[in-house]
Structure formats: structure tokens, C-alpha cells
Amino acid sequence: MKSWTTHGRRQRVRAGLIVLGIVAAMLVPASAGATAAKPALASCQAGNMSLSLLVNAGSEAAGSTFVDVGTRNLGRTSCSLKGHPGVSGYAGHQIGAAAAWEGGAGQSVPLGVGQIAHFVLQIVHTANFPAASCKPVTVSSLRVFLPNQSQAMFLSSDVLSFSLCSAGPSNLMVRAVTTGTGFPG
């Protein structure tokens, strides 16, 4: 009888260990063995960014000028940008309507320290609009709000002077921030 009791005890211990293993497996998250996803980068803050006209800053096409604007991460950590910047002409105050957004919101653009992203600004020539309703004004400064930011940044250029409609529809269009540099093909 002693061997039967020992045998029964062993079966109960084995059954208990099996149940314990099943419960433990249920409590471990499925991703515990998988590589953890990288945490999302924080949005780039305007105070840690700079703006510049990139090489060959203006490109002409069918009644418009395309301007490639770079934004560099001057911060101490990586960050990201996603979406369209807010852009308007500036001469001590906003000139005309803000740029209309062209295209989709784009992908998140991660920026390491010192890296540059860019956006393309299209300036439709004011000659394409009736002068009476457009009221053209020449400016050489832009006010820019990077995506998801409320702090304005300013870009002035002696090289690039352009005419904006101070009334009526905006003659500016801006594309979402993207990696690298380049003009529309």
C-alpha cells in the first residue's frame, strides 16, 4: 500500500506542476519573447530646429516657383516631424492667406541630431490672379509653424523675393515634410 500512496502522490505533484505551467504560460504576455518595438520619437520642437533655403532654392514651372525649405534638428536628441507646416508670407505681419496644404500628411520623418528634413513650397505667380482681387505685395520672409507646433519660426532671404496676394485666395501651397531634399519631378 505504501508504493500506491507514493505513486498517487507523484501523480498529484505532476498534475499540479502541469497546471502551474499552464497558468504561468497564460500570464506571460505574447510579446515577452519578441523584440520590443521602439518607442515613438517626440515631435521636434521649434526651439530646437532651424530653417534654411536649400541649394538651388527656387525652381520655375508653369506659372509657379517651387522653394525647397530645409529644417535641421539642432536639439540634443532625436525627434520626428509628420504633416504639413503652416506657412505664410511675413512683413511684420502676415501677408495674405496661409499656404494651402497639398497632398497627404506623409510619413513620420525621424531626425537624428543635425539631420535635415524638408518641405516644398509652391508660390503661384500673382500674375495668374486679377490684380484688383489679389492686391500683390512683395515679401522676402516666411513665417513657418512646423507640424504640431505653435511657436513660429521665420525665414528671410535676400536671394528670394516673391509676390503674394494680400487679399483673396492664397497663392501658396505646401507639401508635407519629408526626408532628404528635392523638387517635384
Say whether both 15 and 106 belong to one domain: no
Q: What is the pLDDT of residue 66?
A: 87
Say whether both 6 and 97 belong to one domain: no
Q: How confident is the model at residue 63 (pLDDT cuts 50, 70, 90)?
A: confident
Say whether both 16 and 61 belong to one domain: no
pLDDT(46) > 50: yes
Nine-digit cell string for 86: 503652416
Say whether both 142 and 104 belong to one domain: yes
pLDDT(88) > 60: yes
144 domain-assigned: yes
pLDDT digits (tens, 9 = 90+) for 126-183: 999 999 999 999 998 999 999 999 999 999 977 778 899 999 889 999 999 998 765 5
Say whether both 85 and 175 belong to one domain: yes
- How many independent structural domains does the chain possess? 2
pLDDT(52) > 70: yes
Q: What is the pLDDT of residue 65?
A: 86
The C-alpha torsion from 115 through 120 and 126 to 132, rounded to 10°, is -90
37 domain-assigned: no
Contact 172, 164 (CB under 8 A): yes
132 domain-assigned: yes
Say whether both 56 and 144 belong to one domain: yes
Nine-digit cell string for 33: 519573447
Q: How confident is the model at residue 58 (pLDDT cuts 50, 70, 90)?
A: low
38 domain-assigned: no
Q: For residue 66, what is the domain's CATH number?
A: 2.60.40
Stretch 95-124: mean pLDDT: 94
Range of the domain at 15: 2-32
Say whether both 26 and 64 belong to one domain: no
Contact 118, 180 (CB under 8 A): yes
pTM here is 0.74
Say whether both 22 and 50 belong to one domain: no
Q: How far is CA 65 from the centre of its chain?
A: 23
Stretch 31-51: mean pLDDT: 76
